Structure 1
Amino acid sequence: MRTTLDFIYRASGGLAAFFIFAIVALVFAQVCLNLADKIAAAVTGNGVGLTIPSYADFTGFFLAASTFLSLAYALRAGGHIRVTLLLGRLPKKAQRGFEIFVVTVALAMSAYASWYLILLVYESFEYGDRSSGMVSVPLWLPQLPVALGLIILAIALLDELIGLLRGAPASWDGKGESLLSE
C-alpha cells in the first residue's frame, strides 16, 4: 500500500511539473511570436499580429492544475509552510496531539472542498459550461485536475493521519519516510 500511495503522490507531482513546463513553453512561444511580429513591423512597417489564441487562459488553467496537483507531493516532502513557533513550545505529547488535530482539520477541509469541486466538475460537464476566451474550452477540462489534486491531497492527509495515530513520525519532520529521499 505504501508503494502505491507514494507512486500516486509522485505521479501527481510529476503532472504538476508537466503543467509548469507547459506554462513555460506556451509563454516562450508567445514571446517568440511577439518578437517575430516586432521584427516584421520594423522591416515592413506593419506587424503580422502573430498570437496564440487564449494563451493567457491556457496558462491560467495550467497554473491551477500545477498548483493543486502538487499539494500532496509537497505535503509528503515537507514543502508546506508550517508555523512551528507554537508547536516548538509545547511538550512532545502535546505536539503530537496538536499535529493530529491540525491534520484532522486539514483532512476535513480538503475532503469538503474535494466533494464540492467534484460536484462543480459534474455540473460543468452536465450543462456544457465553456470558457469565454477566444478558444472556448469546456470548463470541466481545467476543473478536473484541480479536483484530482484535492482528492489526492485528502488521501495524503488521511494517510498522514493514520500514520500519526499509529505512532509514526510525521512525514514532513525528516524522521519519517520522505518522497525525496528515494
Structure 2
Amino acid sequence: MTFKLDPLYRLGAWGAAACMLAICAMVTFQVLLRCLDAVLVLVGASRLGYEISGVSEIASYLLVGATFLSLAYTFTHYAHIRVTLVIARLPAAARAWCEVVCLAIALALSALLSWEVVGLIQESLDYGDVSSGLMAIPLWIPQTVLVVGLTLLCLAILEALLTTLRQAVTAPSRYVAPGENDGFGDNDNFGGE
C-alpha cells in the first residue's frame, strides 16, 4: 500500500527522533555534570553543583512527543502489532471487509481521542494550566503535540481505509493484507503476524 501523505508522516517521525535526541542530550549532560562533581570531590575540590532543573519533567513531555509523533509513521510502515490469527484464515474478500471494519473503528477511536484532546487544550488555555513540577510549563504545549500526532495517525488510517475500501469494492478476491507483500516474507514483516 502506498501512502500519498508519507512525507508528512516522515516529518512526524523526524519530530519524534528530535524528541528522543533531546532526551538523550539532556540526560547525558546531566550525567556528565554529576560525573564532574564526583571527580571534583575525589580530587578534594568542592562540587560545582550545576544541574538542569526539571530534566525529568521535560524528558517525560518529550517522550510523549516522541510516542505520539511517530504513530502515523509506524502505522504506515506496519510496525504496529497486528493480531491476524482469525482474519488470516478468511477468504480474501472477507479479509478485505474485516480490514475495512477494523480501520473504520480505529479511525473513529483516533478521531474521538483527537477531539477530546483538542477540548483538553482549550480547557488548559482557558484556565492557564501549567505543570506542577519545578518548571511551570504551560500544558497546552505538550497537549498540542498530542493532537498533531493523533491527527497524523487519523490521516494515515483514513488513507489506509480508503485504499482498502476501494480494493474491497473493486477487486476483493485479490486483496492482500498490509505488510504481506513488503519483501520481508509472509511472517517476517514488521506487522507482527
TM-score relative to the length of structure 2: 0.84
User: Greater relative contact order: 1 or 2 (C-alpha under 8 angstroms, separation 6 or more)?
Assistant: 2
> Are residues 156 and 3 of structure 1, via their aligned partners in 2, closer, same or farther at CA, if it must alter by over 3 Å?
closer
- Matched with 1:91 is 91
Identify, as 1 or 2, the structure richer in helix. Answer: 1
- Matched with 1:31 is 31
1:45 deviates by 5.9
Q: Which has the larger radius of gyration?
A: 2
- Matched with 1:79 is 79
Counterpart residue type for residue 34 of structure 1? R
**Aligned residues with identical type, % of pairs:** 38
Maintained 8 Å contact 1:128/1:138: yes
Asked if 1:55 corresponds to 2:45, the answer is no
Structure 2 CA distance, aligned partners of 1:15 and 1:137?
19
Count of residue pairs the alignment pairs up: 175
1:151 deviates by 0.9
1:43 deviates by 2.2
Structure 2 CA distance, aligned partners of 1:110 and 1:155?
10
1:133 deviates by 1.5
Counterpart residue type for residue 75 of structure 1? F
> Are residues 80 and 137 of structure 1, via their aligned partners in 2, closer, same or farther at CA, if it must alter by over 3 Å?
same
Moved more, 47-56 or 103-112: 47-56
Q: Structure 1: which 5+ residue stretches go unaligned? A: 176-182
Structure 1 CA distance, aligned partners of 2:86 and 2:59?
38
1:4 deviates by 6.0
1:34 deviates by 1.2
Q: Structure 2: which 5+ residue stretches go unaligned? A: 168-174, 183-193
Structure 2 CA distance, aligned partners of 1:69 and 1:171?
21
Give CA deviations for 1:105-135 in whole Å, capped at 9, x if unaligned.
1000000000000111121122111111211
Q: CA RMSD in A?
A: 2.0
> Are residues 154 and 3 of structure 1, via their aligned partners in 2, closer, same or farther at CA, if it must alter by over 3 Å?
closer
Maintained 8 Å contact 2:3/2:156: no
- Matched with 2:181 is 174
